[in-house]
Structure 1
Amino acid sequence: MAAPRNLTPKDEEKAEMDSPAAKKLKSERYPLSRWGLAVALGSFLVFSAALYCIYSKMLASHFKNIKLPRSLTDLRMLKNHLGSYAKGHPAQFILGYCSTYIFMQTFMIPGTVFLSLLAGALFGVVKGLVLVVFNATAGATTCFFLSKLIGRPLVCWMWPEKLKLFQSQVAKQREKLLNYMIFLRITPTLPNIFINLASPIVDVPFHVFLSATLIGLVPSSYIMVRAGLALGDLKSVKDLYDFKTLTVLFFIGSLSVLPILLKRKRTYQ
């Protein structure tokens, strides 16, 4: 029997780093691999470069004063500043607006609620609603595919228990999955960011995800666009989702799962 080889401190350190426990700890600290991080960073840089090219085409006097609104005060200033530009250069403004919204939705950057309010303030209910629903759906779609590519370790790291619950519910509602996904989109049961990231991981088909997003975002988008018309009277973003509004959203959402409940009732009878 061969005598055990003496390990140097360097070898011992390497063996310890390669142990299963060390690898698990490393994955908990850094959920994305180098390849995943490279894809995420590369996508972010490509989107950022495209966004900069779009904004650089705008008039210099308007471009230098543009910033993402972080409060209602910022939003009112932005509305006053961009109102004349939106009327004089509608195509360029809509291109910049859509690109910004999709960029923020794709990379989970907070603030799309302010852009939804801005759409109502500048374009009214009908045009504003079309813009918001289109951009929110497009941004959710790009987020879906990005998560499908590299999102699994990130979602498992951020929301492990919520992901398990979502996966079990999707499996239970597989026959009426579209109704269930519409319900989630309409109601604030789960954050939209989580739904965008987790859906490809729990095997929600893309056509179901797309249809549910397109339909389910209409009620909440309508509320925000309508609120944008009275931007001067709005005191806080929290006022958008008071008890009455939440009750209406849950009522509308319950209509989408009504076929599921009726089917279960017939089964038990």
Structure 2
Amino acid sequence: MTNASASDTTPLLGNVSGNSSSSRNNKPVKRNGVRQHLLNMTPLQSFISLLVLAVIVFFGVYMMIKLNLPKDLTDEQRQWLKFPRNVEDVQHLSIILEDYLAKHYYEVMACFVATYVAMQAFAVPGSIMLSVLGGALFKAWVGIPLVLFCAAFGALCCYSISYYLCHPIVEKYLRAKIKKLEAKIEAKRDELFFYFTFLRVTPFFPNWFMNVASPHLGIPPLIFFFGTLIGVLPNTLVTVQAGATLAKLASPDDFTLLTPQNIIMTIVICFCLLLPIVLHRNAEAPTADPESDSEDDGDVHARV
């Protein structure tokens, strides 16, 4: 077997629809060097490695925020300098950072990007409120591409972490669920980009699962990145535009999505939702049993 490169897209869990020995024996594909060592870790070792990496990353993000965000705040302002959990938190935090943002625009942006990417990389819930905060701080024209980049790049980081560290965990806890999807991915390999984008837009599988499972399904990094970029576009348009609107309100109680801008955004979202479906008009639901397709093919060959 040849050495595997970083761009190797062979499914790590084997081809469930094929007859290869790796599929029958439920053994991962062999890799050399560091990659082989990481594949041979136990689930506990994999979890500990993941935990250590998460602690290092989030400590670095915390220190970055601590050194770059304003320090001369009143006690009342300081209580709102925290991770936003709801609309009220977002509005108060955006007000506190408004004046500081004018003088330290790129420092605030760097802290926002680092926080967002870290949360996406380790599948930490709360990115929706960060997207709203992005709209409140940077407005729609900057906030939308910024949040799109953070979401897609953060997901790619999660993809990479899963590829290198999480195989033992995936093998033990997610194998059955991934095997159901793997046959559908293989069947759509010729139009993988459109099918993967279809999966990201539709709610068949949660985002965290797609981020973790994709490297083990043989989805190349470029397809993953750009498919994710399109897949998160509808949610990004809504949340960032909502944040830009929220910044103009006197009270979070006045917050509403029924604005002309959001209606336009809704139309755009519908188009984004329909586009991959039109491109995949013949695609089946990914949770359907793929065996029926192979049986039909067998009948055709039998008749021939």
- 1:12-161 paired onto structure 2 within 5 Å: 32-34=43-45, 36-58=46-68, 59-61=70-72, 65=79, 66-161=81-176
Are the counterparts in 2 of residues 156 and 163 from structure 1 also a CA contact under 8 Å?
A: no
**TM-score of the two chains, using structure 2 as the length reference:** 0.66
Aligned to 1:16: none
CA shift for structure 1 position 159: 4.2
Residue 147 (structure 1) shift: 0.3
1:193 aligns with 208
Q: 1:81 & 1:61 partners in 2: Cα distance?
A: 11
Q: Which residue of 2 aligns with 1:252?
A: 272
Quote the RMSD (CA, aligned, Å). 3.0
Q: Does 1:234 align with 2:255?
A: yes
Identity, % of aligned pairs?
A: 30
CA change 1:55–1:252 in 2 (3 A) is closer
How far apart are the structure 1 equivalents of 2:256 and 2:169?
36
CA distance in 2, matches of 1:72, 1:259: 36
Read off the aligned partner of 2:49 and give its amino acid letter. Answer: V
Q: 1:175 aligns with which of 190, 193, 196?
A: 190
- Stretches (4+) displaced over 4 A: 62-65, 156-161, 247-251
> Any unmatched runs of 5+ in structure 2?
1-41, 247-251, 258-264, 285-304
Cα 1:128–1:161 change in 2 (3 A) is same
Q: Is 1:223 the equivalent of 2:234?
A: no
Deviations 1:179-222, CA, capped at 9 Å, x for gaps = 01111222333211111101001111111101211222222211
Q: Is the 8 A contact 1:178 1:212 kept in 2?
A: yes
2:197 aligned counterpart, secondary structure: helix
TM-score by length of 1: 0.74
Shift of 1:94: 0.4
In structure 2, the CA distance between the partners of 1:248 and 1:183, relative to structure 1 (3 Å rule), is farther
CA distance in 1, matches of 2:255, 2:187: 41
- Residue 7 of structure 1 aligns with which residue? none
In proportion to residue count, which structure has more helix?
1
* Shift in Å, 1:153: 3.6
Taking a change above 3 Å as real, the CA distance of residues 76 and 155 of structure 1, as seen in their structure-2 partners, is: farther
What is the alpha-carbon distance in structure 2 between the residues aligned to residue 69 and residue 260 of structure 1? 37
- Bigger Rg, which one: 1
